[in-house]
């Protein structure tokens, strides 16, 4: 490990990155974090909504306006509510040709979205696919569509194929009454999935009493990716470090966790993503003017040395960072 590990000092953050970090911190201070505090806020809004309907029915205009104002104020802390509202306003502004307003609503929608855990699952995850063992997936987004591709595969659904997807678009739920986030009296033409209410034991384990969930589609297939088909599924948000996806008809649920860098590297090497052979140590790195094959050899050598280093530091079960749900009396499937 000679030249490969030299000059590995910290990289100074760019002004753009620093600005983005500050904006993310500001957004997280503005919105209520997913958890019991947010569930309590929503319960308060439901109670206020009941009071609003009563005030409307009884003709108490002053009380009605007072409740509406309170709903507007506390509704600003719910990122789900604000994201949906700003998307609606964005669409309206675009249809009316108000480009300046559209940019503002787009920015506000992005701020709320950044605080929603279902939109922050990008990247690599590992879960145990039953008898197929541990597999790695890569989560990405196309608009409000979450798509999970297999990075490692099995005999049924191979690598590169979609293992599941979920439509997170809040606007697919069309309001029948109003579109104001201060009005919690709106109903939907498509039923939302209710969150899963956890037992006290499970709530203590996960730090939340509810698990939000979203409708999705999970892919299944016979050996050789034959007769592949989609079935109803549910994406269940457990926290920042875990989520699960349930294939509803077959009652199969897989829990996913973030792999450690060592585990990710190990799994990628096993599937040949970094299949390399030992290379000589380099007394000095090649320059940018070197032959492309020389540069490739050098990069491969660096990866090989890094792999040797992290594998020496790995101890115990490499999959210890991945929870499978097997050692608990709690069932989170509904």
Q: Is residue 251 part of a domain?
A: yes
Same domain, 66 and 147: no
Whether residue 135 is found in the same domain as residue 253 = yes
Looking at residue 15, what is its pLDDT?
80
When mean pLDDT is compared across 16-25, 169-178, 317-326, the lowest value belongs to 317-326
Q: Say what angle helices 79-95 and 99-113 make with each other, to 10 degrees.
A: 160
Would the pLDDT of 205 be above 80?
A: yes
Greater pLDDT, 2 or 329: 2
**310 located within any domain:** no
Examine the pLDDT at 182 and tell me if it is beyond 90.
Answer: no
Please tell me the total count of domains within the chain. Answer: 2
**Within this chain, do residues 156 and 188 fall inside the same structural domain, yes or no?**
yes
Q: What is the percentage of the chain residues whose pLDDT exceeds 90?
A: 53
Q: Are residues 96 and 136 in the same domain?
A: no
With respect to residue 292, please indicate whether it lies within any of the assigned structural domains.
Answer: no
Place of tokens 């009296």: 185
- Is the same domain home to 161 and 85? no
Report, as an integer, the average pLDDT of 197-217. Answer: 90
Residues 131 and 252 occupy one common structural domain: yes
CATH number of the CATH domain containing 243: 2.40.128
Nearest to 312 by CA among 274, 277, 265: 265
Q: Is 241 contained in some domain?
A: yes
Domain limits for position 50: 15-113
Domain assignment of residue 178, yes or no: yes
Q: What is the pLDDT of residue 204?
A: 86
Least confident of 72-86, 121-135, 309-323: 309-323
Once rounded to an integer, what is the mean pLDDT over residues 115-129?
94
Co-location of 51 and 103 in the same domain: yes
Tracing tokens 């940018």 back to the chain, one arrives at: 288
Does 301 reside within a domain? Answer: no
Give me the phi and psi of 128, to 5 degrees please.
-100, 110
CA gap 283, 300 in Å, rounded: 15
Pick from 113, 141, 157: which residue ends a domain?
113
Query: For every residue of 128-192, which 3-state class applies, written as one string?
Result: ECHHHCEEEEEEEEECCEEEEEECCCCCCCCCCCEEEEEECCHHHCCECCCCCCCCCCCCECCCC
Among residues of the chain, what percentage have pLDDT more than 70?
78
User: Could you tell me if 62 and 183 lie in one domain?
Assistant: no
Q: What pLDDT shows up at residue 265?
A: 87
Last-in-domain residue among 209, 236, 260:
260
pLDDT digits (tens, 9 = 90+) for 70-104: 999 999 999 999 999 999 999 999 999 999 999 99
Residues 141 and 239 in one domain: yes
pLDDT at 101: 96
Name the more confident of 203 and 83: 83
Least confident residue range of 16-25, 28-37, 108-117, 309-318: 309-318
Helices (H) and strands (E) in the chain, counts: 8, 10
Check residue 203 and give its pLDDT.
87
Between residues 289 and 320, the one the model is more confident about? 289
- Work out the average pLDDT over 11-20: 78
Do 251 and 151 belong to one domain? yes
Both tokens assigned to 130: 């039953």
> Has residue 5 been placed in a domain?
no
Last residue of a domain, one of 260, 276, 294: 260
127 and 109 in a common domain? no
Q: Is residue 31 part of a domain?
A: yes
Claim to verify: residue 179 and residue 220 sit in the same structural domain: yes
Give the pLDDT confidence of 36-66 residue by residue, as tens digits: 999 999 999 999 999 999 999 999 999 999 9
- Quick one: how far is CA 40 from the chain centroid? 23
Lowest-confidence range among 20-24, 214-218, 236-240?
20-24
Mean pLDDT of the chain: 82
């Amino acid at each position: 490990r000679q030249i490969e590990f030299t000059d590995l000092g910290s990289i100074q953050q760019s002004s753009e990155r620093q600005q983005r970090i500050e904006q993310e911190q500001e957004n997280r201070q503005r919105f209520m974090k997913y958890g019991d505090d947010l569930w309590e806020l929503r319960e308060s809004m439901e109670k206020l909504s009941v009071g609003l309907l009563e005030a409307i029915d009884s003709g108490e205009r002053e009380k009605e306006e007072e409740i509406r104002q309170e709903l507007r104020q506390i509704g600003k802390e719910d990122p789900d509510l604000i994201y949906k509202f700003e998307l609606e306003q964005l669409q309206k502004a675009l249809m009316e040709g108000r480009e300046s307003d559209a940019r503002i609503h787009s920015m506000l929608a992005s701020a709320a979205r950044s605080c929603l855990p279902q939109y922050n699952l990008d990247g690599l995850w590992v879960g145990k696919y039953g008898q197929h063992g541990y597999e790695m997936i890569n989560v990405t987004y196309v608009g409000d569509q979450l798509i999970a591709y297999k990075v490692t595969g099995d005999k049924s659904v191979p690598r590169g194929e979609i293992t599941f997807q979920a439509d997170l678009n809040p606007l697919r739920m069309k309001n029948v009454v109003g579109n104001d986030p201060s009005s919690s009296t709106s109903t939907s033409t498509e039923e939302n999935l209710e969150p899963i209410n956890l037992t006290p034991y499970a709530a203590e384990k996960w730090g939340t009493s509810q698990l939000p969930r979203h409708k999705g589609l999970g892919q299944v297939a016979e050996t050789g990716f034959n007769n592949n088909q989609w079935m109803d599924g549910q994406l269940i948000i457990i926290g920042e470090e875990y989520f699960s996806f349930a294939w509803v008809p077959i009652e199969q649920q897989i829990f996913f966790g973030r792999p450690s860098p060592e585990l990710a590297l190990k799994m990628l090497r096993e599937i040949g993503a970094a299949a390399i052979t030992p290379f000589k140590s380099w007394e000095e790195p090649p320059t940018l003017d070197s032959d492309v094959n020389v540069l490739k050899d050098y990069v491969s050598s660096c990866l090989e040395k890094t792999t040797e280093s992290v594998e020496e530091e790995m101890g115990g079960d490499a999959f210890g960072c991945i929870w499978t749900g097997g050692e608990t009396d709690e069932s989170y499937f509904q």
